[in-house]
Amino acid sequence: MLAAMSSTTTSTRAPDEPVSFGARYVPRAEKGRLVRGVFDSVASRYDLMNDAMSLGVHRVWKAMTIARANPQPGERLIDVAGGTGDLARLWLKTAAAASRRRGGPSATAVVCDINEAMVRAGRARGRVGLGWVTGDAERLPFPDRTADAVTIGFGIRNVTDRAAALAEMRRVLKPGGRFLCLEFSKPTTAALAAAYGLWSKAIPSIGAAVAQDRASYDYLVESIRRFPDQATFLRELETAGFARATVTNYSGGIVALHMGWRI
């Protein structure tokens, strides 16, 4: 069991190699601690800030993601970097509706997040039926081939070694299982990019007003700016071994849903 749970994707990169943390570069070994600091700081106001920053639209993006995941009775989801559990909750709700229509066992969902404060905030919302695990996307604490679906929503951009995290998420999928990654991306028209650029400039001020935390939202905006565009990230999925990888833009590319399969 332990052997099956050990990561096959240990990074060989030097711990002092510079990696981006928002607008600055920090030693690779430092980034995880800094990202944890960001989410420690915002955890208690995270859900409120999501609504404020996206004007509630994050709920629609998440609903569309789970509609694409198409949960079936008895299936198991691992929601990586799952935060307070929005995607996992929607998975259970959608699968329960399918079970009521057609019968079959209940689906299950486990939220895995590196940050205990985010997990605590999710548990405090009383989201029944979800499993909660503290763990790093780069070293998932799950055996090989045990999930029917893996989701990661607005999490991949925070991970230090994306290739390691993608390999881990593929490792825990059963053959035939699907991977869905919802993330901020690049607007597809110049007009939308300009409007979105202006809105992004306002986000740190909203963070200061709502969460009393400008610095964390400065990081958020910069991490979005540095994340690769749709086509580049699609190639990363293919390199990680996901089959039939596709990308779907939502809200004109402000976010994108990348999907791939383990075959």
Ligand X SMILES: C[S@@+](CC[C@H](N)C(=O)[O-])C[C@H]1O[C@@H](n2cnc3c(N)ncnc32)[C@H](O)[C@@H]1O
Which spans of this chain sit near ligand X (rule: CB under 6 A)? 35, 39, 81-83, 86, 113-115, 118, 136-138, 153-155, 158-159
For CA atoms 135, 123, 74, 249, the dihedral sign is negative
Whichever of 118 and 240 has its CB closer to ligand X, that residue is 118
**What is residue 81's DSSP assignment?**
T
Residue 92 C-beta: closest distance to ligand X, Å: 15
Whichever of 81 and 149 has its CB closer to ligand X, that residue is 81
Whichever of 74 and 120 has its CB closer to ligand X, that residue is 120
Phi, psi of 154 (to 5 degrees): 55, 30
Comparing every residue's Cβ against ligand X, the nearest one is: 83
Residue 203 C-beta: closest distance to ligand X, Å: 13
Quickly list H helices, the chain: 2-5, 28-42, 46-54, 57-69, 86-102, 116-124, 162-172, 190-211, 214-226, 230-239
Alpha-carbon radius of gyration of the chain: 18
Residue 197 C-beta: closest distance to ligand X, Å: 20
Whichever of 169 and 237 has its CB closer to ligand X, that residue is 169
Whichever of 66 and 107 has its CB closer to ligand X, that residue is 66
Residue 101 C-beta: closest distance to ligand X, Å: 27
Q: Are 71 and 105 in contact (CB under 8 A)?
A: no
Residue 81 C-beta: closest distance to ligand X, Å: 3
